[in-house]
């Protein structure tokens, strides 16, 4: 029988799990920071709150950035009109 406990009663595979957990945490934090920045910049407080509270390992954040945010009309930075009318106003 193989002994899984090698060093002070800690399983030898726990160090690999900690490394995987670290990678997972960095992945989630990076996507969350990007999505929160976009939601704050676009003035979407409900999306900001949802992205801040709900932890989905970056899935909700990626969905917001690449799907939902593209559907939301962005305002022209110069005059505030929607981008669809940008050619006529700016």
Q: What is the mean pLDDT of each run of 10 residues along the chain (90 residues)?
A: 57 77 93 94 92 90 88 65 57
To 5 degrees, how large is the angle CA 56–CA 28–CA 47? 55
- At residue 77, the pLDDT reads 62
Looking at residue 79, its pLDDT comes to: 67
pLDDT of residue 14: 73
> CA 28, CA 50: separation in Å to the nearest integer?
15
pTM for this structure? 0.65
């Amino acid at each position: 029988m193989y002994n899984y406990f090698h060093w002070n009663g800690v399983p030898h595979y726990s160090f690999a799990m900690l490394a995987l957990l670290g990678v997972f945490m960095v992945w989630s934090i990076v996507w969350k920071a990007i999505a929160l920045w976009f939601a704050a910049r676009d003035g979407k407080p409900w999306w900001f709150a949802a992205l801040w509270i709900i932890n989905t390992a970056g899935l909700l954040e990626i969905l917001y950035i690449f799907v939902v945010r593209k559907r939301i009309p962005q305002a022209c930075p110069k005059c505030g009109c929607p981008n669809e009318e940008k050619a006529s106003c700016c």
